[in-house]
Amino acid sequence: MRPKPTASAILALACLALACLPETVSASLAWEREAILTGQGWRLWTGHLVHFGLPHALTDALVLLAAGAILEGRIGPARLLGHLALAAPFISLLLLAAMPGLAEYRGASSLAALLAVAAGVAAWPQAGRGQRAILAGAAAFAAACILHALGAGIGLSSLPQGVAVAWQAHPLGAACGLHAGLSARAAISASHT
């Protein structure tokens, strides 16, 4: 019997709960370049949990829950949280290094991309006809990344007006998801032998 997706549900609920708190709370937890560079290291993790409003949080929470439930059912909550705990600061540090003009980042979309890619990679060998759905999801994700990179993906976001998508976080999350998915597949194979 597969475990229930408790970690995924808690993560999604945390994003939604934080979106309902006052803006001062979100601001104190957001990935903020100057704050991180002056020693507020917790923002490397918490910036992925706060959002620019409830619609933004809801979008990310739904993907976190759906993709996380698939992956968590295969690897369990501890491994899922382990992947996220390592990936969040890694993605944050890469954004810090690769995007010197980025002042603030909020959102779990990079973690959602991680979970979606990892779930697809982990599920691939047993997916059968579901492989088409995985490929379609991958194509839609790639198209959205390209549109956002070109500045044409404005209507694809649940961000408030005036807030730009930090699209670079999405392929970074997907790359971490590829690693997590391959690791999950190896663990699943090892447990079946």
Task: Tell me the pTM.
Answer: 0.89
Report the pLDDT value the prediction gives residue 73, as an integer from 0 to 100: 87
Report the pLDDT value the prediction gives residue 153, as an integer from 0 to 100: 61
Report the pLDDT value the prediction gives residue 38, as an integer from 0 to 100: 97
Distances (CA, A) of 35 to 27, 47, 58, 123: 11, 11, 26, 39
What fold is seen in the domain 6-191?
Rhomboid-like fold (1.20.1540)
Mean of the per-residue pLDDT values of the chain: 89
Report the pLDDT value the prediction gives residue 93, as an integer from 0 to 100: 97
Q: Nearest 5 degrees, angle CA 115-CA 182-CA 191?
A: 105
Could you tell me which residue, 108 or 5, shows the higher pLDDT? 108
Report the pLDDT value the prediction gives residue 190, as an integer from 0 to 100: 77
Average pLDDT over residues 6-31: 95
CA distance 93 to 30: 14
Locate the domains of the chain by residue range: 6-191
Report the pLDDT value the prediction gives residue 157, as an integer from 0 to 100: 59
pLDDT higher than threshold 90 for residue 14: yes
Per-residue pLDDT of 133-161, as tens digits, reads: 989 988 988 888 888 788 776 555 577 77
Report the pLDDT value the prediction gives residue 150, as an integer from 0 to 100: 86
Per-residue pLDDT band at 88 (split at 50, 70, 90): very high
Could you tell me which residue, 149 or 95, shows the higher pLDDT? 95
**Residue 147 · residue 90 · CB < 8 Å:** no
Write the DSSP assignment of 126-151 as a string of letters: G-TTHHHHHHHHHHHHHHHHHHHHTT
Average pLDDT over residues 48-65: 93
Average pLDDT over residues 41-55: 95
